Amino acid sequence: MTDQPIRSSFDRAQSATTFDPEAQLDATIDAHLAKRSAGNAGKTPGQLAYEADCALQPNYGDGDGHLAGMLRKPWHLLSDIARDSWERNPTVRAYHRKPVESPEPRG
């Protein structure tokens, strides 16, 4: 056993000499989940994952039809089907989406 402390993904991201997007994403997720779970002991794993996902991708993406660019719903306003999906697979999914970009100004 070593005397070195266990390093979190946040520590790895901070100490990296080059930018590592995967480590930065892990650090963001870890920090958000730690912050959220500290004061939210009654939340389910699905709810914590959804809220972390919303922190990374707060708006609906381009492929979301009429919802494109709109803020995502808070947990309590999700349909039962949507909440069940998050409970069955409580993982942050924002890294799969293309970031929502602001439209070009019209001249």
What confidence tens digit (pLDDT) does each residue in 35-57 have?
665 666 788 999 989 998 888 88
Q: What does each C-alpha distance from 30 to 15, 45, 60, 79 come to in angstroms?
A: 16, 13, 22, 26
Q: What does each C-alpha distance from 14 to 3, 6, 7, 21, 82 come to in angstroms?
A: 21, 14, 11, 12, 35
Residue 47: CB atoms within 10 A of its CB come to: 19
Q: What is the model's pLDDT at position 27? A: 80
- pLDDT above 70 covers what percent of the chain? 59
Task: Kindly report the pTM of this predicted structure.
Answer: 0.52
